């Protein structure tokens, strides 16, 4: 599987399936014999049980997984850090840790918080800025529902404006009984210049980890061979 060392996973919104997509990508890479680290620069919502790295390890298996900072409230990082009274690491700190992980793993998958332009540090640095610092490629996770075409176009435009490389698009949660709107959106998203990498079935997180790992490469069948 011919993928870059450092891949940043962003979404058109929060809750679109970045975590499950990151887990599937990690599982597919590991099935291809690659070592994988997952890094979540800012994890919000620990008090309500949100821990994306834990979910990724449960589903994907033996990946190194860590968060740069863990915040209690289910809020954007700057707001959550203010409530906790915790300092947010600067982007350079995240970039340094990602480079360290890249030196000891074949791939590092970095899952953003919310969408591309959410502020991650006290200087207003975003995942887009982290992508520039690391010269990394992006996977964009989108919804299949109404509204996704605009959100996807906006995010792709923001990536293009910064000369950031897009590996491709993933639908984070593909319904088991898709309606016309879902199929129509999938057709449109599948015909954009950005490659369409695949779709994760809804309820994939309820599969046994063994099945999740066995099926992940098939869900992401648009990944470069």
- Determine if 52 is a binding residue for Mg ion (CB under 5 A): yes
167-186 positions binding ligand ATP, by CB under 6 A:
172-173
CA gap 131, 138 in Å, rounded: 8
DSSP class of 89: P
The number of beta carbons lying within 10 Å of the beta carbon of residue 200 is: 24
CA 74, chain centre distance (Å): 18
For the annotated catalytic residues, the residue numbers are 40
In contact, 8 and 131? CB cutoff 8 Å: yes
Provide the 3-class DSSP secondary structure of residue 140: strand
Number of residues near ligand ATP (by CB under 6 A): 19
Is 158:129 a contact under the CB 8 Å cutoff? no
Stretch that binds ligand ATP, among 13-21, 28-36, 56-64, 180-188 (CB under 6 A): 13-21
Instruction: Using CB under 5 A, count the residues that bind Mg ion.
Output: 3
Residue of the chain from 3, 8, 20, 169 that contacts ligand ATP (CB under 6 A): 20
Give min distance, CB of 171 to ligand ATP, in A: 9
> Of the ranges 47-55, 57-65, 153-161, 203-211, which one interacts with Mg ion (CB under 5 A)?
47-55
* 37 vs 163, beta carbon nearer ligand ATP: 37
Element (H, E) at 64: strand 64-70
Residue 173 CB, nearest approach to ligand ATP (Å): 3
Q: What is the DSSP letter of 43?
A: E
Give the footprint of Mg ion on this chain (CB under 5 A).
18-19, 52
């Amino acid at each position: 599987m011919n993928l870059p060392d450092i891949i940043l996973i962003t979404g058109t919104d929060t809750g679109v399936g970045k975590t499950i997509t990151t887990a599937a990508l990690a599982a597919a890479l590991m099935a291809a014999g690659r070592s994988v680290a997952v890094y979540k620069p800012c994890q919000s919502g620990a008090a309500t049980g949100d821990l994306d790295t834990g979910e990724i390890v449960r589903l994907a298996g033996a990946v190194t997984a860590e968060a740069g900072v863990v915040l209690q409230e289910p809020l954007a990082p700057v707001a959550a850090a203010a409530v906790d009274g915790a300092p947010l690491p600067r982007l350079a700190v995240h970039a340094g840790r990602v480079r360290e992980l890249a030196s000891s793993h074949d791939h590092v998958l970095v899952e953003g918080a919310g969408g591309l332009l959410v502020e991650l540090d006290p200087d207003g640095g975003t995942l887009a800025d982290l992508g520039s610092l690391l010269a990394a490629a992006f996977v964009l996770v989108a919804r299949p529902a109404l509204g996704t075409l605009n959100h996807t176009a906006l995010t792709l435009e923001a990536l293009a404006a910064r000369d950031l490389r897009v590996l491709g698009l993933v639908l984070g949660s593909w319904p088991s009984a898709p309606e016309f709107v879902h199929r129509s959106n999938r057709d449109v998203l599948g015909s954009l210049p950005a490659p369409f990498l695949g779709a994760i079935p809804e309820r994939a997180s309820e599969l046994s980890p063994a099945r999740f790992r066995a099926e992940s490469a098939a869900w992401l069948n648009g990944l470069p061979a």
